[in-house]
């Protein structure tokens, strides 16, 4: 008998930009249930983007950054006959969004010497222009998938 499909709780849009993606982003930044701090970081980063890009809509910049850093392919390890193969697979849209947001946050956290909202704002700006660590990570993932294309027939 098949397992029942897991019911996912839908995320309500955030209060300022009325966007579900921004609310998910806030949730990924949040640590130890401190949502108000995560809200301040994200909204301050968006204000930082607005002043740095001279009135550009931060939501559009954010959407562009997500689009530029989200991977289309990834490799998953698969054990076949005693050997491990890196099998390239297409990434589902939900996972694509999660990976993109996670890579942007990790890239911002890895930098030193500035408040988190500035590091996050800079990383979002870089990703929206096609640069930055998050986009570099996406390119590396695509390169790995391309180089392991020979094992695509092991896909499940």
| Rg, Å, the chain Cα set | 18
**What is the pTM assigned to this prediction?**
0.89
As a CATH number, domain 20-154 is 1.10.455.10
Q: What is the pLDDT of residue 33?
A: 93
- The per-residue pLDDT for range 2-60, each reduced to its tens digit, is 888 888 888 899 999 999 999 999 999 999 999 999 999 999 999 999 999 887 899 99
Higher pLDDT, 148 or 141: 141
The answer to whether the beta carbons of residues 121 and 43 sit under 8 Å apart is no
**In terms of residues, how long is the chain?**
156
Domain range summary for the chain, segments of one domain joined by +: 20-154
Do 124 and 104 touch, CB atoms closer than 8 A?
yes
Q: What is the pLDDT of residues 1-14, one digit of tens each?
A: 788 888 888 889 99
Render pLDDT for 58-117 as a digit per residue (tens, 0 to 9): 999 999 999 999 999 999 988 888 998 888 999 999 999 999 999 999 999 999 999 999
What is the SS3 assignment for 78? strand
- Residue of 44, 46, 71 lying closest to 61 (CA atoms): 46
DSSP single-letter state for residue 149 = G
- Helix ranges (DSSP H) in the chain: 20-29, 35-52, 58-69, 93-110, 116-128, 132-147
Q: How far apart are the first and last CA of the chain?
A: 20
CB of 121 within 8 A of CB of 49? yes
């Amino acid at each position: 008998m098949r397992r029942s499909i897991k019911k996912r709780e839908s995320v309500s849009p955030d209060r300022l930009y009325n966007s579900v993606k921004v609310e998910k982003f806030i949730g990924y930044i949040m640590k130890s249930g401190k949502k108000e701090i995560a809200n301040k970081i994200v909204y301050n980063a968006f204000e930082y983007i607005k002043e740095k890009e001279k009135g550009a809509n931060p939501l559009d910049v954010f959407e562009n950054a997500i689009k530029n850093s989200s991977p289309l392919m990834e490799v998953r390890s698969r054990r076949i006959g005693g050997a491990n193969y890196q099998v390239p697979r297409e990434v589902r849209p939900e996972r694509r969004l999660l990976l993109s947001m996670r890579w942007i946050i990790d890239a911002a956290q890895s930098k030193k010497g500035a408040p988190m909202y500035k590091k996050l704002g800079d990383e979002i700006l870089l990703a929206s222009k096609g640069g930055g660590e998050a986009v570099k990570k996406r390119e590396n993932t695509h390169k790995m998938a391309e180089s392991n294309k020979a094992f695509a027939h092991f896909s499940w």
